[in-house]
Amino acid sequence: MKAASLLFLRLSTGLLIVIWGLIKIMSPDAAIGVSNTYYGGIVSVAMIQTPWGLFQVAIGLLTILGLLRRFVYPVQAFILCLGAAAIWKYLLDPFGLYLLTEETRNVLFFPSLGMAAATLVIWAFRDEDRLSLDVALNRG
């Protein structure tokens, strides 16, 4: 059950990063709009959208496969936890009661907290993640 649960977490968190990466590749203007609106424009440079998107797709696919986990899990954790930290107001006030307003609230951001937690669980239980390509290839 634990190995299957870790596989499910790998699939869900990896797919999220793949989707984010594909958005940057297929619709860089949309990615820039999200960066400007929710992340203070930190990654709003058009020329980095495709390379950053390709990197995210690669990290997501490696996560799904459970390959190069020693490198990939901390990178994925950084991406998902940084993403959650950047929208902290939406996590602390999903209903717009004290930090946000009714117009600016967005309860759909709240699952980012669960995704950040999930990636930390995957990383913490890496040694018990038996349904990974690393294990199948005897690479631990």
Sign of CA dihedral 100, 104, 105, 108: negative
Q: How confident is the model at residue 140 (pLDDT cuts 50, 70, 90)?
A: low
Question: Per-residue pLDDT tens for 9-63?
Answer: 999 999 999 999 999 999 888 888 888 877 777 777 788 889 999 999 999 999 9
Question: Per-residue pLDDT tens for 54-90?
Answer: 999 999 999 999 999 999 999 999 999 999 998 899 9
